[in-house]
Amino acid sequence: MKINLLIKRNPLLKATFLTFLLLLFITNVNATETTLSETWSLLEQEEKAIGFSFDRYLRTEEGYLYTSNGVLQLEILGGPAQKMNIYAELCVDEHYLAKAYKIITDLGGKQNQITGTLTDGQITIVTTGPDGKDFQSVFQPEETGSLYFKESFLNYIAETKGLLVGEKYTAKVWDYGSNSLSNFTFKVEEKATYQYQGEAVAVFSLIEEEPGQTTWLVSADGDVYYSYNPLQNLSARKVEKEEIPELSALSLDVLLVPGNIRITHPFRSLSSKIKVIWEDVDFADFNFTDNRQRLLDHTITATTHEALLEISKDQRDFSGRVTLPLTESKFAPYLADTRFIAPSLPEVKELVKTICGEEIDGWLVTQKILSWLYQNIQPEMIPQTLTTKEILVERKGKCAEYAILFTAMSRAAGLPTKIALGERYQDGVWVGHLWNEVWLGEWVAVDPSHNQLAPDALLLKFVDSPEVMGTQKVRMGLIGKLGIIIEDVSLAEEEKPAVTLHTGIQGQTYTNADYRCRLTIPKGYQLIETEEQGMLMLAVVNTTGPETQIVLLPFSVPEGTIGAQILSSRIPVLGQVLPGFILISQESGEINDYPAAIGTWTYEHGKTFKQQNWIIINNDCGYLFVFNSSTEVWNNYESDFAAIREGFEIVD
C-alpha cells in the first residue's frame, strides 16, 4: 500500500476547510485506472474517534491519482454535533510531480468546489461557490522547477530512493490548503515496530521538520500506519472498516482563555501590560509589534515561552498621511487577491466607489469602509469561513468575515491592508480574534467587527499576514497551549457619577455599580447573583413556579453597538442549541424609555417552552433580559415579567 495522506496529514485540509460540512463523493475507477491500494483510517483527538477516511491510490495513464473520502464529527462553539464529509483528489505525473487537484465541499446543501491546475510555471485556482459562479486566481511563483504535493513527494522517496535512517529529504511543494509554496523537509528518524491487527509491523518513523511538525509511521513500501499532527492534536491510524466506532465530536477551538482578573469595561482601556505564556510555537513565528503594541521582554525555558507586552490605545489622527491609490511594488502582497480576499471583483469595486465616492485620503476611506461594514454586515457565529463574494451575498459573519471583507474593500480602494490575529478580552475571558492593519505611512490597527478606528488596549496581537491562511500556523499551534495574564491596565476616567452605587442585593433590590443599574423585583421572587463562564449573571427565581426563570445579564460592548444586531446574531445560535426552535417574532420596544430589541421563540424540552429576550444598549453597557416559561403557564406570568422590566433602571 502507498502513502495516502490527504486526510491523515491534515484532517481538516488546513484551516481553509476547517469548519465546512463537506459532501462525500464516491469516485468510480475508470477502465484506464488501476487501484494500487485502498486504506481505511480512524481520526482521533485525545483518544476519541472524531472521524474516518477511505483513501485510494491509483495508477493512471498520465501518472498517479490520490483520492480521499472522509467524515468528521464537529462541535462548533458548544453547538450540536455536525457531520463533515470530505472529498479530495490529487493528480500527479509519472514522476510524482503535481499536476492538478480538486476539493469539493458542501454546507447544508450549498456546494463549494476548488480546482487547481499546475502548468507552465503557474498555478490556476478556480473556486466555484454555491451559486455556481467561478472565481479564478493565478499564482506565478518566482521559483520554478520540480513541484510536488507533500503526499506525492513522500511516495517519490519511498518508491525511488527508499527510506534511509538519518536521511533528510527536501522538496518544494504546493500547499493546496493555503494556496502557497513551501519547502517541505522530513527526516527518517529510526526504525521501529507498530502493532497492527495483533502483529508487529516493521516501520520507519518520519518527522516533518518544515513547515509543520507531523510525524508518521510508514512501512518500507510506503504504507502509513499512524500519523500525528501536534499543532492540531489530531492523529490518524490505519484500521479495518469494521473497527470504525460511533464518532465523538471534534471541538473546534476558538482560543478561549480565562482572564486572570475581571475588567468590567474593557473597551475603555487606554493602556495595559500583558504577559503571554505558550508552548511549542517558535517565537520567530509571532509578530508582536504594531502601532499600539510593543514587546518589552521575552524569556524561554526548555518548553515554555513568556512574552511581556505593552499595549496603548493609539488615538492619533492619520488624516493626510497617504493619498490613494498606493501602487508601489512593495505593497503588492497587501493589494492582491487571495483565497478568501477578492478586491478585484467588480461588485467590490462598485461598492467601494458608492461608499467612498471621490475620496482619496487613506484615513477617511478607512473610516467610510469601517462604518459601512458595521452597519451592513450582521454579526453571526457561523462555522465556516466565507469568501468575499459569499460575504457580500450572505451579509453576515463573525470577526473573520468582517476582516476579510474590510481587506477586500480597502484593497479595492488602493489601500494596502493586512489580516491580524490575536486575542480580544471581553467579559472575563480572552477569545481568538481577527482584525486588520492598514498602511497610513505606518501599519495602523483597526477592528471592523467592533467598529474601532482606535482599538482598545485589551486587543492582543500575535501575528499578521497578507492573507487569512498566513495567520493560521500560530493559531493552530496555540490550541491548548496558551495562557494570558493581565499585569496592569488603565481605563479612561469617567465623570464622577452624581449617585454613588454599591453592588449587592438588599431585599428585593439588586444594584450593580460597574454597570450603573438597579433592579427591583416583585414579591414571590428571589434574587441570586452568580457567574457563568466568567460573565456575571443575576437569576430572578420564582419561588413557586420552577418552570419559570428570569435572568439579567449585564455585559460590555463597544460604543455604537446596536441591540438589534446582537439579538439577530443570537437567534441562529439558539436555533441550533434549543431543540424544536421556532422563531415567533423580532420587534422593538422600551424598558423605562430605553429602546429595546425584543425576540420571542418557542422550543421543546419535554414540553413546549416560550422564551423572550430583551436587549438594551446604553453607551458601552449592554443588558440582556431572558424570560423563560412553559407555554402552558406563560400567560399567567406576563404581568410579573412586565413588573420586573418596570423595576429596572439605569442610574446615569
Which of 252, 279, 313 represents a domain boundary (last residue)? 252
Task: Classify residue 110 by burial, with Cβ atoms within 10 Å: 0-12, 13-18, 19+.
Answer: middle
Residue 137 confidence (pLDDT): 73
Kindly report the CATH number assigned to the domain that includes residue 396: 3.10.620.30
Give the whole-angstrom CA distance, residue 417 versus residue 18.
24
CB atoms near residue 239 (< 10 Å): 18
What burial letters (b/e) apply to 21-32, b meaning 16+ CB within 10 Å?
Answer: bbbeeeeeeeee
What's 27's DSSP letter?
A: P
Q: Which residues of the chain carry a pLDDT beneath 70?
A: 1-32, 74-82, 106-111, 129-131, 133, 135, 142-144, 178-179, 231, 249-253, 383, 532-534, 576
**Based on the domain organization, do 593 and 530 belong to the same domain?**
yes
**Based on the domain organization, do 241 and 276 belong to the same domain?**
no
Please give the distance of CA 516 from its chain centroid, rounded to a whole number. Answer: 34
**Based on the domain organization, do 241 and 358 belong to the same domain?**
no
Crossing angle (nearest 10°) for helices 362-376 and 399-412: 140
**Based on the domain organization, do 149 and 287 belong to the same domain?**
no
Give the whole-angstrom CA distance, residue 49 versus residue 43.
6
Among residues 434, 464, 472, which one has the least CA distance to residue 333?
A: 464
For residue 528, give its domain range: 504-650
What is the rounded (10 degree) CA torsion for 474, 477, 478, 480?
160
**Based on the domain organization, do 278 and 414 belong to the same domain?**
yes
**Based on the domain organization, do 448 and 530 belong to the same domain?**
no
**Based on the domain organization, do 459 and 352 belong to the same domain?**
yes
Which of 252, 274, 307 represents a domain boundary (last residue)? 252
- Whether the CA torsion 591, 596, 602, 603 is positive or negative: it is negative
Q: Residue 432's beta-bridge partner residues?
A: 423
**Based on the domain organization, do 609 and 460 belong to the same domain?**
no
Classify residue 303: in a domain, yes or no.
yes
Classify residue 242: in a domain, yes or no.
yes
Kindly report the CATH number assigned to the domain that includes residue 509: 3.40.1000.10
**Based on the domain organization, do 37 and 70 belong to the same domain?**
yes
Residues 6+ apart with CB under 8 A from 507: none
| Residue that is written with C-alpha cell 491523515 in the block | 8
Residue 531 confidence (pLDDT): 75
Classify residue 227: in a domain, yes or no.
yes
pTM: 0.72
| Contact indicator for 540, 644 with CB cutoff of 8 Å | yes
Q: Are strands 180-196 and 134-139 parallel, antiparallel or unpaired?
A: unpaired
Residue 406 confidence (pLDDT): 98
**Based on the domain organization, do 439 and 476 belong to the same domain?**
yes
Classify residue 257: in a domain, yes or no.
no
Which of 469, 491, 513 represents a domain boundary (last residue)? 491
Residue 532 confidence (pLDDT): 65
Give the whole-angstrom CA distance, residue 173 versus residue 171.
6
Classify residue 1: in a domain, yes or no.
no
Classify residue 385: in a domain, yes or no.
yes
**Based on the domain organization, do 345 and 307 belong to the same domain?**
yes
Among residues 602, 289, 614, which one has the least CA distance to residue 463?
A: 289
| Residue that is written with C-alpha cell 476616567 in the block | 493
Query: How many domains does the chain fold into?
Result: 3
Classify residue 5: in a domain, yes or no.
no
Classify residue 498: in a domain, yes or no.
no
**Based on the domain organization, do 143 and 286 belong to the same domain?**
no
Residue 3 confidence (pLDDT): 35
